[in-house]
Structure 1
Amino acid sequence: MAKTASSTKSTAKTAPKKLSATKVEQTKKLQKSAILFPTDLGEKASKDISGAMNSVLADVFALYLKTKNFHWHVSGPHFRDYHLMLDDHGEELFAMTDPIAERVRKLGGTTLRSIGHISKLQSISDNNADYVEPSDMLAELCQDNIKLTSRMRVAHDICDKYNDSATASLIEEWIDQTEKRAWFLFETGRKMDSSGH
């Protein structure tokens, strides 16, 4: 009788350990899967939104580097104004990168891992020319910012589809910033007409 009680106690003690070990294994499997963090939006939403946001992030990095490229290499009579404006734009773009990547992780996805990964996803083309006219720099960056805005609108539509208001609200702020950059680039690059306007 004493042995039976002892063995029952022993079984009772080991049962929680087995249950705990099972939970640990489940967590490990979840961590190794494509969806690294559970979300109430579901796996399909996580995959689609993460994919859209990683594409946005790739373009943000591509545009950031191009903006800094032009910031470093701009020349001519408007050097100071262009140099400072492009530096401000670069800071804005870089400030977007971490929140985008972290949002993807919060949704259970994985995000960009390398320059090679960026190059596979970016739609904004690089500019490796030895020299670019300042006016061409502004025009190219203006069009790139417009392209980035379009890509963010597509991502916003995907967020709306899955009722992901948190990501959508962040995108709305970034769209406003990106439209402002395009506006500044467009107006700065405009040539004065014969009346001086």
Structure 2
Amino acid sequence: MTQAKSSALRKVNPELDTPTDLSEEGVSKISTAMNTILADTFALYLKTKNFHWHVSGRHFRDYHLLLDEQSEQIFGTTDEIAERVRKIGGTTLRSIGQIAKLQTLEDNDESFVPPREMLRELMNDNKKVAAAMRKAHDICDKYEDVATASLIENFIDATERRVWFLFEASRQEGDNEA
């Protein structure tokens, strides 16, 4: 993200300027990282719901329920991420357009995606989100933001659980690949 985008996220209306003991630079860097994760979380939520709505085949019921459960879990993190940004004095996402500008995950608008490919794509997207969370954790450590780092740790664990379930659900007999 460019410095201009980072600064734009930190410009806070005086009415919304939440007091914090974190440095201005720390708030800016952490908010930027968390807003990117938030944008990817919304993108991952919608892709997971898309695949939930459009899955077909002999494992329909299992995949349909798995993807519904995962999409609820993913959506459940959005408010916590956004509110954490506000708690430290940053601003957060305001529109779908802003999500589109910040997201790093690719959308999938295909008319049909085979079920195993759906699961593998979601697995890889979740792995990317976990990696971004680890980088955000490093930023939090640098600026001594223990609370955001702690929140991220819980989200990493949940994301890794989704990766594990998607990996196992997408395996075929004789598969040993990751």
Q: Please give the TM-score of this superposition, normalised by the length of structure 2.
A: 0.89
Structure 1 segments (4+ residues) deviating >6 Å: none
Residue identity over aligned pairs, in percent, reads 62
| Per-residue deviation, residues 119-166 of structure 1 (Å, max 9, x unmatched) | 111011000000000010001000000000000001000000011000
Larger Rg: 1
List alignment gaps of at least 5 residues for structure 1: 1-29
| Per-residue deviation, residues 19-61 of structure 1 (Å, max 9, x unmatched) | xxxxxxxxxxx96259721210121111110000000000000
Contact 1:34/1:110 (CA < 8 Å) preserved in 2? no
| Aligned mate of 1:133, from 93, 107, 114 | 114
Query: Which whole-Å CA distance do the structure 2 matches of 1:62 and 1:33 have between them?
Result: 30
CA drift of 1:70 comes to: 0.1
| Aligned mate of 1:108, from 68, 86, 89 | 89
Residues 1:42 and 2:19 aligned together: no
Query: Which whole-Å CA distance do the structure 2 matches of 1:31 and 1:177 have between them?
Result: 31
Q: Any residues of structure 2 matched to 1:157-168 within 5 Å, and which?
A: 157-168=138-149
Contact 2:37/2:133 (CA < 8 Å) preserved in 1? yes
When residues 37 and 85 of structure 1 are mapped into structure 2, their CA distance, relative to the original with a 3 A threshold, is: same
Count how many residue pairs are aligned between Structure 1 and Structure 2.
165
CA drift of 1:193 comes to: 2.3
Query: Which whole-Å CA distance do the structure 2 matches of 1:34 and 1:65 have between them?
Result: 32
List alignment gaps of at least 5 residues for structure 2: 1-10
Residue 40 of structure 1 aligns to a residue whose secondary structure is coil
The two structures, once aligned, show a CA RMSD in angstroms of 1.7
Contact 1:35/1:43 (CA < 8 Å) preserved in 2? no
Matched residue type, 1:56: I
Residue 76 of structure 2 aligns to a residue whose secondary structure is helix
Other-structure match for 1:11:
none
| Aligned mate of 1:151, from 132, 135, 140 | 132
Query: Which whole-Å CA distance do the structure 1 matches of 2:112 and 2:58 have between them?
Result: 16
